[in-house]
A and B are shown apart, each in its own frame.
Chain A
Amino acid sequence: MLNYDIVVVGGGPAGMAAAIKAKECGTDSILILERAETLGGILEQCIHTGFGLHYFGEELSGPEYADRFIEKINTLSIEYKTDTMVLDISGDNTVTAVNSTDGLLEIKAKAVILAMGCRERPRGALNTAGTRCSGIMSAGTAQKFVNIDGYMPGKKVVILGSGDIGLIMARRMTLEGAEVKCVCELMPYSSGLTRNIVQCLDDFNIPLHLSCTVTRIHGSERLEGVTIAKVDENRRPIKESEQFIECDTLLLSVGLIPENELTRAAGIEIDPVTGGAIVNESRQTTQAGVFACGNVLHVHDLVDYVTLESYTAGEGAAKYAQGKIANEKYAVTKGRGAVRYIVPQRVNLNCGEDVKLYFRVGDVFKNASVVVKCAGNEILRRKKIRLAPGEMESVTVKNETLCTMSEGDTIEISVEV
């Protein structure tokens, strides 16, 4: 049995930032466990730029963004093991992991930081009718084949879903000489960043069909084409609008799912909307000493925001490992109406600092107001020109306000049109 103050599960942007912050907060014994061959996580295959604009104020590629943190991990002498898969986290924060050099590892930790990231929703989850030929893969898998392995998944491409990875891959495949016929998006709006729609689709004349989906997959061995159709307001395909598009590749960018198998197995409570753990303001889950950050907690728009959230979790875990634990007196956060979710889901009223609440809306709004109520009293009303599901919003609740609240009170966020 090994002993560490903090074990970080995952060495992507979230895990690295959390480990760095924890170290800077005075915790020395930290171990990062990463399942891939290198640190960096999914950033390593994101060779496009656009990372770091918010956090570093400059435009970096994915690997460049990751490198800044990898360097820091090395400078701070934070220990890590790659090619190492965590199998289990027990109720007393013992982490079981496996790799080919150490075999089976059992590590007792004071605090654990969950930073496993997310995965892409696969074709099967869409229940799309048709054959099960080759040529269908998630956009991220295609991205790995192209950017890491140097192989092309196909030549004539349809992309289903306008998530950012799908948009990025539309451009990437075009640059590599493939013909991207269109991007179909089920919703009447794209969930991708506006800058990606402009730079990845508009600049290359790739059509984006909104309220449109793939209804059938054709091809016995390799994909030969897809049927696409418009959908009605209930997202049901309109038969009369069906249209066959010849293609040899269908890339899916239809949503990301936080990878919380370990979290669930540990019995940690999950928010059914985010798919991530229920956490407090320091990103501590319902299991004492277990923290979560990054896309395993909820899917972020930008890696810059992952970094910031992970600093919060790293600081929280360091304090916990050092035994600096505030008395717990919780208020819960609650999204009303169009507010789909809020992270954190609960706030310790004794935390002694201002708390930033992150939230996402379920529809597009123009000129709407974000209203925050604490224990029924309106404490904030802010006009927003635009709110969209693809863009995370935030509000801050002051410590003074928290101090006036009682255990079990609600902090409510709503959108008024």
Chain B
Amino acid sequence: MIYDIAVIGAGVVGSLISMQLSQYNLKTVLIEKGNDVAVGTSKANSAIVHAGFDAKPGSLKAKLNVEGTAKMPELCKRLHVPFKLTGSLVVAFSPEQRKTVEELYARGIENGVEEMEIIEQDRLREIEPQINEVACCALLAKTAGIVCPYELTVAAAETAVINGVKFERNFKVDKIDYNGSVFTVSAGEKNINAKYVINCAGIYSGKIAEMIGDDSIRIISRKGEYMLLDKTMGSLANTVIFQCPSDMGKGILVTPTVDGNLLLGPSSIDVDSYDDVSTNSDVLDSVLEAAKLSVPCVNTRNVITSFAGLRSHPATGDFIIGASKKNPAFINVAGIESPGLSASPAIAEYVEKIMLDILGNVEKKEDFIPTRKAPVHFRNMTNEERKALIEKDKRYGTIVCRCETVTQGEILDAIHSPIPATDVDSVKRRTRAGMGRCQGGFCGSKVAQLIAEEHGIPLDEVTKFGGGSRLLVGKTK
């Protein structure tokens, strides 16, 4: 079997590209080293759709950010992914910072960002009553929003799969050979052959490119640590609240999430490791301190979890998208750091064009299915809808996750979705079971049991996120 295209990396970028390419009569495989899609940077980021005033005018980042953000609301609607057009604020906390705010406004205009304005204290306080009283003005960008990044990734990858893309999980690429017309992508003993490779390996994209002798891509691993607060704190921010940016990123933000929690972060520290997503207490302390500058009343009493993600910061500062100089059949989509999530819908179309240029005449499928089936979210339904749902299928009448009100039916749907959830974290990303304030204390064992039963494996083989992350070590005496 020779695929037309192998996409390496099932993050938001690789998944959206795969979905985009699944419109055509092409044999595509989406390769992922983890046990599910969205297990790297795509699951641990700020979940922001940026308006587009940050990036340097004329850069690919600036162009694709503005385009991607414009596409996001419609795309999320189509894929049944939660998105909220909250708007964002870059707040000046001192008169000197007003200059930065004005510069960002000017840059936004240059980048083609619409619906921006600089607002003064009164208006700012109206929008964000909890904002620090020293705040003097802010850049309001109404096109900014918040999205669920892993749900977007799952939705895109699943839409790709229902349109014929093959998903290969637990495939950690360690070698790529090229015989002049076909690549052989290997993970240990396993091989996948494809005529073209699209490198969407995120933080590892430099290393993947090196496998074909392309050492032009230098990715710096830049860690960001976050704290997620309980839903009772979600109302402390109505918009995405940024502080004035620095060289290391956009600073510590305070933002609601689409699920109603409050998110604080990220820190920004360059690290040597490409897989160390551990958190550090001194860094988390500094995140909290910095967040207090924006919203003084935040505290750690209502933290439900903390986590870290790694930005794939390109040494060049801009997205690297295009055919490798070493091999025109090898397409790099690298250095996709913030605003990569915002840009991802535009990146996917940009890469689609590149592939169409290379491939020439490819036909569109007549039977392309533009979206996956809308997932059931019992917690968001009215009582009438719930009644009707349970009458049709009684599995939706059993609540498994109390904190997030997730039913057994939803968990079974996730386990049998186009990309089946085979571990506890995959079920959590698809259903929110275990994402609430008890963090799976009650429902974790039930979810594990359902995974074991449905996939026909013993309970002690169920993992948290694949590999060696088993929950249990064997039977009792």
Does residue B279 face the partner (Cβ distance < 8 Å to A)? Answer: yes
Kindly supply a per-residue 1/0 record for chain B positions 393-410, scoring 1 wherever the CB is within 8 Å of any chain A CB and 0 otherwise.
Answer: 011111100110100100
Say yes or no: B477 contacts A131, CB within 8 Å. no
Say yes or no: A100 contacts B476, CB within 8 Å. no
Query: Which residues of chain A are near B281, meaning CB under 8 Å?
Result: 127-129, 215-216, 237
Question: A-side binding surface: helix, strand, loop or mixed?
Answer: mixed
Say yes or no: A127 contacts B300, CB within 8 Å. yes
Does residue A120 face the partner (Cβ distance < 8 Å to B)? Answer: yes
Query: Which residues of chain B are near A135, meaning CB under 8 Å?
Result: 471
Which residue, of A87, A98, A106, A259, has the highest number of chain B Cβ atoms within 10 A?
A98
Q: Contact partner of A120 among B441, B449, B472, CB < 8 A?
A: B441
Say yes or no: A99 contacts B303, CB within 8 Å. no
- Which of A72-80, A137-145, A197-205, A370-378 is the contact stretch? A137-145
State how many angstroms separate the Cβ of B338 from the closest Cβ of chain A.
Answer: 22
A125 to B459, CA, bound (A): 27
Does residue A395 face the partner (Cβ distance < 8 Å to B)? Answer: no
A131 to B464, CA, bound (A): 13
State how many angstroms separate the Cβ of A78 from the closest Cβ of chain B.
Answer: 23
Say yes or no: B475 contacts A96, CB within 8 Å. no
Say yes or no: A125 contacts B383, CB within 8 Å. no
Q: Which residue of A lies closest to B44 (CB)?
A: A132
Q: A104-B383, A132-B277 known; A119 and B442 CB under 8 Å? A: yes
Chain B: residues with Cβ within 8 Å of the partner, total of 56
Kindly supply a per-residue 1/0 record for chain A positions 366-386, scoring 1 wherever the CB is within 8 Å of any chain B CB and 0 otherwise.
Answer: 000000000000000000000
Does residue A57 face the partner (Cβ distance < 8 Å to B)? Answer: no
A106 to B278, CA, bound (A): 46
Say yes or no: B227 contacts A127, CB within 8 Å. yes
Say yes or no: B472 contacts A152, CB within 8 Å. yes
Residues facing A in B435-471 (CB within 8 A) are 437-442, 444-445, 449, 459-460, 463-465, 467-471
State how many angstroms separate the Cβ of B448 from the closest Cβ of chain A.
Answer: 9
Query: Which residues of chain A are near B207, meaning CB under 8 Å?
Result: none
Which residue, of B300, B303, B472, has the highest number of chain A Cβ atoms within 10 A?
B472
Q: Which residue of A lies closest to B282 (CB)?
A: A129
Does residue A85 face the partner (Cβ distance < 8 Å to B)? Answer: yes
Does residue B1 face the partner (Cβ distance < 8 Å to A)? Answer: no
Say yes or no: A130 contacts B390, CB within 8 Å. no
Does residue A149 face the partner (Cβ distance < 8 Å to B)? Answer: yes
Say yes or no: A221 contacts B468, CB within 8 Å. yes
Q: A120-B438, A133-B469, A134-B464 known; A103 and B307 CB under 8 Å? A: no
A96 to B382, CA, bound (A): 12
Say yes or no: B441 contacts A100, CB within 8 Å. no
Q: Contact partner of B470 among A129, A134, A141, A176, CB < 8 A?
A: A134
Say yes or no: B442 contacts A100, CB within 8 Å. no
Query: Which residues of chain A are near B227, meaning CB under 8 Å?
Result: 127
Chain A: residues with Cβ within 8 Å of the partner, total of 55
Query: Which residues of chain B are near A85, meaning CB under 8 Å?
Result: 399, 402, 405
Say yes or no: A125 contacts B398, CB within 8 Å. no
Does residue A101 face the partner (Cβ distance < 8 Å to B)? Answer: yes
A64 to B6, CA, bound (A): 60
Query: Which residues of chain B are near A264, meaning CB under 8 Å?
Result: 232
Say yes or no: A140 contacts B441, CB within 8 Å. yes
Does residue A122 face the partner (Cβ distance < 8 Å to B)? Answer: yes
Kindly supply a per-residue 1/0 record for chain B positions 293-313, scoring 1 wherever the CB is within 8 Å of any chain A CB and 0 otherwise.
Answer: 000000010011111000000
Query: Which residues of chain A are near B394, meaning CB under 8 Å?
Result: 100-101, 103
A150 to B449, CA, bound (A): 12
Does residue B386 face the partner (Cβ distance < 8 Å to A)? Answer: yes
Say yes or no: B477 contacts A176, CB within 8 Å. yes
Q: Which residue of A lies closest to B449 (CB)?
A: A149
A123 to B277, CA, bound (A): 16
Does residue B188 face the partner (Cβ distance < 8 Å to A)? Answer: no
Does residue A352 face the partner (Cβ distance < 8 Å to B)? Answer: no
Query: Which residues of chain B are near A153, meaning CB under 8 Å?
Result: 471-473
Say yes or no: B441 contacts A138, CB within 8 Å. yes
A127 to B402, CA, bound (A): 22
Query: Which residues of chain A are near B441, meaning CB under 8 Å?
Result: 119-120, 122, 137-138, 140-141
Say yes or no: B444 contacts A127, CB within 8 Å. no
Does residue B59 face the partner (Cβ distance < 8 Å to A)? Answer: no
Q: Which residue of B lies closest to A131 (CB)?
A: B278
A103 to B392, CA, bound (A): 10
Say yes or no: B387 contacts A103, CB within 8 Å. yes
8 closest Cβ pairs, A-B complex = A124-B305, A100-B397, A122-B439, A221-B468, A134-B464, A85-B399, A100-B394, A134-B469
Contacts beyond the supplied A124-B305, A146-B476: 20 A-B pairs with Cβ under 8 Å: A35-B402, A85-B405, A98-B390, A98-B397, A100-B390, A100-B394, A103-B386, A103-B391, A119-B437, A120-B438, A122-B304, A122-B440, A125-B437, A127-B300, A129-B284, A141-B441, A153-B472, A176-B476, A222-B469, A261-B402
